[in-house]
Amino acid sequence: MFCVLAVVFGVIMYRVIVLSILFVSQSEVVSKFAKIVTTATAAVINLVAIVILNRVSGKMALYIYMHCDVCNMCAGL
């Protein structure tokens, strides 16, 4: 749960910081597309975080299943 909250907070902070940096850029093109660039890169970061958290939770579930005596007794039924 803590990892999920940390990722969400990190992505929010990333969007705020990058958007503010791009808006004050000297380049008119960069300032014009700042919101699109920030949204797209934040979406990629979210996707990567979801994939990583999914793999970690899957490995944790498998570990718990293999090492839990109650689960092993239920599997034998």
The first and second tokens of residue 40, run together, are: 């797209």
What distance lies between CA 8 and its chain's CA centroid?
Answer: 7
Q: Is the pLDDT of residue 33 over 90?
A: yes
Q: What is the pLDDT of residue 41?
A: 96
The structural domain count of the chain equals: 1
The Cα 54–Cα 56 span in angstroms is: 5
User: What confidence tier does 34 reach under pLDDT thresholds 50, 70, 90?
Assistant: very high
> CA angle, 19 as apex, 17 and 25 as ends, to 5°?
105
Residues 6+ apart with CB under 8 A from 23: 31, 34
